[in-house]
Structure 1
């Protein structure tokens, strides 16, 4: 893909039929799905981060003229420009990222300032929004509307891990949630506490939100943020979820890995229901 794109875009050599190069991103990722090989986010032209931008002044220039920091138009290969949100984010970064996610902040300086401050404060506690667009979008909705989009409230949860005499491991989770005015106690088992928690939560909520049936957790990453504290360190969890039509990422941070996972999973299901067209409570 890189060679073909370089020949066509840099050398103006016609290699493919006219406009066929615009399918490069879609075809590249379709092949990755079929072959079950993860595509590199940094792959030239067709990587999801090939046209990613970060930092305040950089974003300000992009807002004026994207070509100032892009060697080619992302659309020429079917890709899109991405804005990364981090503690380096300025007003321009936040505004552009919100537009990318379909949220118009209307140039409201006070609102944008609140979001910038919120992002920086949360990232100082270990959150990251560079790889968690869905959690960032929920944060923006919260600041715009005065409350976070919500379909359910997790009231209580309990996980247990037992080792039987035959050395088998049994992991259970019990989750109490309130949704649509109803209190539901749901249970689940899994190959670990987080998997059991996820199964329990989905089992209970699918009674009220059958749309959750199509949601699937596709990736789960854990990072220890303060290694010097060993097992008592702050933990960051990143979760990737899909509904078969697209993927989104959410983040949770806590001293307890299960609590951090619960935060990320709650965001994942909330965002998934928004994608399905559900209106928050």
Structure 2
């Protein structure tokens, strides 16, 4: 039977100390519910003694029945000179009404002398008295030995004394914190092994990523005897972040055979990662191991050819195990295997030896040389393939467009676009205004086509990016425009390249609409034109 490891999530507390990370009390509750469903053992919700928002979360959490997770309130040992039962921080921990609390105390004499300005003995009393008070009030106590590794390296004997004080006072778990994130992995292993031989209490690890070793240090600590690991979803946290649970959990469970979460929940890891980043309003990191969009993306033709024969050739685990998926990228490095894989994924046959296959690869490399990039614009690639195989649908023809940009002396600006399109034998001429030329062009195109394809009104522009390709040419440089469009939960990317940003935007905008209509299998509605006869003058 595999050894069980307690997973302690601090996304809602330590994670929110990261730059640009902020959650409302309602966001925190939503995330806590997802963590509970995923099988996280402990969810640290915040510091109730520090701000009203965290207290609001604990009030909301009281009314929810968590099926697996224990909600945890965070705080410090009582202040020097206070009795535990009168200390405002400890009283706030009790008021949060959580089954468990995480309590941090000082392990490093530097902090005892400089931050607390008390004696080493007084610090030990603060640790003991605070834990004893919380235990008397029925709390499960997870003691966070703050700055433990720095304290250990400075004065091993005193650092261990703080742990023994916590153990003798009844702490359920003693967590060794690499608060500054500066400890190397071999040091973690050596110190955790020493601690394991020095105390009997369960040991945990809390590592930060300042040396980019947060995950490695967490795994090393478990291998050295720890049974409890703390971290955050996506590695959010102060400075360089915390140990990323999206990597820690699969490393421990899939690679080392530990039991961290229910086995059937592992396939939801990628979705959980994206869910948290969505509520944090942060762009997901494509390069994040296991759950990132690029984690199982293959670009080189040799790699793709091998993966198509046996995925183990270039993948360390099956992407489906963590709810991710394999992707084949298309670029100047692509070979016939890339095109073949992608074509199968898009649902049409492709013969690697065919004339069309050679033409697609030739055109792809030509376009990429001109500045096109299809890795983030797979909808444009699909249209390219269908064009070369005579399967590209014909929804409309552009007769022409004109974009006008005006700015007055007051600094106010307006943009207007006029567009003429032909659908079958009918011509539509429309004009629209926008807050910029691209916005006006997008509005005019939609206005013209909605006469024939009303469903276009449901498509939204999700993202718009412009990249200068050759900066030496200054304002005359070629640009690449990438557009993400979305409708009803699905999204697709298109690309356009030109020295003219409006022209590049048109290419990406129009292909986004064509791709949508193609997948909706739309047919144009016949526009009814009502003609009003001119009234004769009676004068």
Change (3 A) 1:162 1:279: same
Query: How far, CA to CA, are the matches of 1:129 and 1:62 in structure 2?
Result: 20
User: Could you give the per-residue CA deviations for residues 211-243 of structure 1, whole angstroms, max 9, x where no partner exists?
Assistant: 111111111111121222111121211111111
Q: Residue 271 of structure 2 corresponds to which residue in structure 1?
A: 26
Query: In the alignment, which residue of structure 1 is the partner of 2:460?
Result: 216
Query: Paired residue for 1:41?
Result: 286
**Secondary structure, counterpart of 1:148 in structure 2:** coil
Aligned to 2:346: 101
Q: Using the alignment, how far apart are the partners of 1:106 and 1:96 within structure 2?
A: 11
Question: How big is the shift at 1:106?
Answer: 4.1
Correspondent of 1:118 among 363, 369, 374: 363
Is 1:207–2:451 an aligned residue pair?
Answer: yes
Q: Distance in 1 between matches of 2:289 and 2:493?
A: 22
Pairing of 1:109-258 with structure 2 (within 5 A): 109-144=354-389, 146=390, 148-258=392-502
Q: How many Å separate the matches in 2 of 1:126 and 1:208?
A: 33
Is the aligned partner of 1:60 residue 2:278?
Answer: no
| Deviation (angstroms), 1:101 | 2.3
CA distance in 1, matches of 2:445, 2:460: 13
Superposition TM-score, scaled by structure 2 size? 0.50
Tell me the distance in 2 between the aligned counterparts of 1:147 and 1:95: 16
- Contact 1:155-1:178 at 8 Å conserved across structures: yes
CA contact (8 A) 1:158 1:173 kept: yes
Show structure 2 runs of 5+ residues with no match. 1-245, 525-539
Q: Does 1:277 align with 2:526?
A: no
Structure 2 counterpart SS, 1:19: helix
Distance in 2, Cα, partners of 1:72 & 1:279: 43
Larger radius of gyration, structure 1 or 2?
2
**d(CA) in 2 for partners of 1:206, 1:28:** 37
SS of the aligned residue for 1:2 comes to helix
Contact 1:82 1:100 in 2 (8 A): no
**Is the Cα contact below 8 Å between 1:127 and 1:251 reproduced in 2?**
yes
**TM-score, with normalisation over the residues of structure 1?**
0.94
Change (3 A) 1:105 1:78: same
2:263 partner SS: coil
RMSD: 1.7
User: Alignment partner of 1:119: what SS?
Assistant: helix
Bigger RCO of structures 1 and 2 (CA < 8 A, at least 6 apart)? 1
Is the contact between residue 286 and residue 295 of structure 2 (CA under 8 Å) also seen in structure 1?
yes
The alignment partner of 1:71 has SS state of coil
